[in-house]
Structure 1
Amino acid sequence: MTGSWKITAYASKPLVHQALLAHEEETDWDPEVILSGREETPQTPDDWVLEAWYSRKPVQADKAAVAALFGDDVPALGIEKLPDEDWLTISQQGVKPIHAGQFYVHTPDYPPHGDPAVCSLSIPASQAFGTGHHETTAGCLAILTAMKRSGVVARHMADIGTGTGLLAFAALDLWPNALATASDIDAICAEVVEFNAAENHVAMGPGNGQLAMVIADGMDDPLLQARGPYDLLIANILAAPLIELAPDFAEAVPPSGHVVLAGLLETQEAKVRAAYRRAGFRLASRLVNGDWSILWLRRRRA
């Protein structure tokens, strides 16, 4: 594809994280525009760059949309035309595979892991936060692996805010006979999950060992409610909706059931844990990956 362009913003790691989170909440974002964030260099881990990739020349509205992600602290934005190469391939350069728990997450540009004991999952790097390369998703993969190794049994499970479907795929690999449901508020995720499921040989459908996909706001969906209660519920979203959903999750998870929460900064952890403590959950374990907290909670017995 020719005519590839890029908008670039250099900023601190927290500012780029803030922009990526704002992008996740942006419902009107053009799905053709790919956004990514990374370290500027390995030697400067606190200096980050945010890149927006276009198959056309960006207009002023595009620049304003990127600037809006930073709120009141907007860095200088640069626009450049790229060589006549596949812009999606360019956007994925440098995104190396990651190994988290028993999972190996890679882009289609890389081969699967050679060890049959490791589950390889192929997710395009252009698919933002659900790829496994963000600390929250990688942390969830590690926590889920630890849960399985500790003897947790999941027969009914749900991945709320599934995005790419990655965490649902991982959970089905760990508990292959479970009745699994994935949901997201964004309708485009249905196509994304179906595509990624086919690429990773995950069966879509309503039965045990298959993945059922619904578009829903939180737990507000008849199928989500009918397929519960859930002895494992995963939600890698953001702190504010996690707090808001605590009572709904408590209704959906029986005593001794498990929830995995992510998408919250370590500075937001106290408020999230307080909301879930009030809803009847206790902390089983936690993991901090970068600036992010990943929580494993259990519903207390009545």
Structure 2
Amino acid sequence: MTNTLWRVDLDVSPALADAYEFALEAFCGAVTQYLDDDELAQRIEAYAEEEPDETALKAAIAGVAERSGVSAPTVTITAVENKDWLAEYARNYPPLQIGRYFIYGSHFDGKLPAGKIALKVEAATAFGTGEHASTNGCLQALDRLSRRYNFKRPLDMGCGSAILAMAIAKTWGASVVASDIDAQSVDVARYNAEVNGVGGSVLAVCANGYHSPSVTRNGPYDLIMANILARPLSAMAKDLAKNLKPGGFAVLAGFLDRDANWVFAAHRCHGLRLVERIKVNGWQTLVLRKR
């Protein structure tokens, strides 16, 4: 083991964090995400045993930004002292239990708990592992809905790592459409679904919201999950209502407490009523139902 590692640091939007992480995996052996204190940005740390090609790495990051229509984040590459990163990784990311769901990474070597639905997702994709309050709230919502309802035609809009799509597939045995605007996130979603044994039940597609035949032809849906951000959720409220069956549920997340009423108001205008608010560390998840 060499005494020096190379660390790559960048701050990005949480919605694009998985895409940047996927791009970094071509240059670094370990990639980790952390939510910053203001909970509005995702900090990414990546480590390489060899000094990465700075020009190629920055070009890959710029490519993600260009495809997403945003400015490229600042990338910093520094030499750091080597240590047992695997042990530190395991300490920082122990398994999570949220309702009936048990979320763990490949570093977990314990026994999976009986009676729980196991979801294997690497902690490097922190915005989609349950570490983030929004994902936590969504999993709580699914756990509560599973006690009373059965869903046969679900949609995970903005699927990211596909943790919610996998949870749905394992809970109800349903085929789930998992859609994301970022092609690399879709690749991650497909990989995770295969690892978790639900590759045949999760249809991961690259789509711009509801404006895609892959999404519209599989609707209308009886459950729509959308863990995105307040502004795009509000902008898509009409399309969500159009693609949701009467009596169907929508679980919305990805916004702070201060934006929850704004998101709800946008959907109430299109015939959705509030069923429940789930609050986790200053973030909210809204469970709505179409009249």
What interval of TM-score do these two structures reach, taking the shorter chain for normalisation? 0.7 to 0.9
What's the TM-score once normalised by structure 2's chain length? 0.80
Summarize the Cα distance change of 1:294–1:221 in structure 2 as closer, same or farther, 3 Å threshold: same
What is residue 287 of structure 1 aligned with on the other side? 278
1:221: Cα distance to partner?
A: 1.3
- Which amino acid is 2:161 matched to? T
* Letter of the 1:294 counterpart: T
1:182-261, aligned counterparts within 5 Å?
Answer: 182-204=178-200, 210-261=201-252
In structure 1, what is the Cα distance between the partners aligned to 2:22 and 2:111?
Answer: 34
Which residue of 134, 141, 144 corresponds with 1:143? 141
State the match for 2:69 in structure 1.
none
1:136 is matched by which residue type in structure 2? S
Q: Report the counterpart of residue 121 of structure 1 in structure 2.
A: 119
Counterparts of 1:1-302 in structure 2 under 5 Å?
Answer: 4-6=5-7, 19-21=12-14, 23-24=16-17, 30-32=23-25, 34-37=31-34, 50-55=43-48, 56=51, 79-83=78-82, 93-111=91-109, 114-149=112-147, 151-176=148-173, 178-204=174-200, 210-300=201-291
Equivalent in the alignment of 1:72: none
User: Cα–Cα, structure 1 residues 268 and 78, in superposed 2: closer, same or farther, change >3 Å?
Assistant: farther
Aligned residue for 2:45, secondary structure, equals strand
Question: Amino acid of the residue matched to residue 21 of structure 1?
Answer: P
In 2, are the aligned partners of 1:172 and 1:180 still within 8 Å (CA)?
yes
TM-score relative to the length of structure 1: 0.77
Question: Pairwise CA RMSD of aligned residues?
Answer: 3.5
How many residues get paired?
Answer: 271
Q: How far apart are the structure 1 equivalents of 2:119 and 2:265?
A: 34
Given that 1:263 and 1:292 are in contact with CA atoms closer than 8 Å, whether structure 2 keeps it comes out as yes
| 1:173-193 deviation line (CA, Å, top 9, x unaligned) | 1211x2321111111123212
Contact 1:162 1:182 in 2 (8 A): yes
Percent of residue pairs bearing the same amino acid type: 31
Query: Does the 8 A contact of 2:95 with 2:103 survive in 1?
Result: yes
CA contact (8 A) 1:161 1:182 kept: yes
Q: What is the letter of the counterpart of residue 33 of structure 2?
A: S
Counterpart residue identity of residue 148, structure 1: S
**Which sections of structure 1, spanning at least 5 residues, go unmatched?**
10-15, 69-76, 205-209
Unaligned runs of 5+ in 2: 66-75
Q: Deviations over 1:48-71 (max 9, x none)?
A: 994521423696996xx8xx9xxx
Q: Which amino acid aligns with 2:34?
A: G
